[in-house]
Amino acid sequence: MHPMLTIAVRAARRGGTIIQRARSRLHEIDFDQKGKQDYVSQVDRDSEMAVIDTLLTAFPHHAIKAEESGEQGESDHEWVVDPLDGTLNFLHGYNRFAISIALKVKGRLDQAVVYDPVMDDLFTASRGMGAQLNGQKIRTANRSNLSQCLLATGFPVRTPNDMASSLTSFSEVLPRCSDIRRSGAASLDLAYVACGHLDGYWESGLKEWDVAAGSLLVQESGGLVGDLSGTEKHLDTGNIIAANPRIYKQLLPLIKTE
């Protein structure tokens, strides 16, 4: 395992321990509303502190971009951190959430960790070295017909002006596939595309920390990742599609935006 990935795994597990300990006292957890249907809990903050402390202890000169504390430092090496992707799920005891950590080197994704502390599933990837789930190599599903596919999506609840186009895309895709899931945790949806549990995924209105690690997982497992206009600007736009190459080509025209 790449040395920087080893540290990222350590950071994710530290955050995961904090989240797991908090699951037994959900009724006691303080949380705030940052915006429309956008929540942050003390557990998010504590997990983020643990992750950042682990990363900066090992690499004190690296930069950080984290969901709760923002950006700190300047460096060619930047860690992109979501300490609890799926906060609303967590607060409701709905066990679909993860920690997402990615490393960008000179603006390019280089290392990735998505950790599900409930299932103890650890997804990892290093650029050019493939992707793994719990140490075993993973690949995207090999289905070639959209009609056989299980897909995932999300709805832009925080940007209601985008809801109409999202619902239109949903209505275009649903009759043409086996079914669609909506989990509320983008990092895990991307990880599941990477390991073949899902055949494809798309969503709009996300942040870089939601999709950075999962994007590299998909790419390193043989899949394609882009934005909803077919370019590779998903980290900038927050709009994303991911699937194996054959399903990607069938799905994109149904959801494509100008």
- Asked if 187 and 216 count as a contact pair (C-beta separation under 8 A), the reply is no
Rounded to 5 degrees, what are φ and ψ at 254? -80, -20
Distance, in Å, from the CA atom of 121 to the CA atom of 106, rounded to the nearest integer, reads 29
- The string of pLDDT tens digits covering residues 140-152 is 999 999 999 999 9
Query: Are the CB atoms for 85 and 45 separated by under 8 Å?
Result: no
The whole-number pLDDT of residue 35 equals: 59
pLDDT for 3 equals: 95
The alpha-carbon radius of gyration of the chain (Å, integer) is: 17
Q: Which of 199, 198, 204, 197 has its CA nearest to residue 226? A: 204
* pLDDT number for residue 156: 80
Taking a C-beta distance cutoff of 8 angstroms, is the pair 238, 96 a contact?
no
**Nearest-CA neighbor of 48 among 29, 70, 31, 28?**
70
Q: Strand, helix or coil at 173?
A: helix
Q: Alpha-carbon distance 115 to 13, whole Å?
A: 7
d(CA 196, CA 150): 10
So what's the pLDDT on residue 157? Answer: 76
- Hey, which bits of 20-178 come out as E strands? 31-35, 38-41, 63-66, 70-72, 77-85, 98-105, 108-116, 121-126, 130-133, 136-137, 150-153
Could you tell me the pTM of the whole model?
0.94
Q: Within the chain, which residues score under 50 in pLDDT?
A: none
pLDDT attached to residue 206 = 94
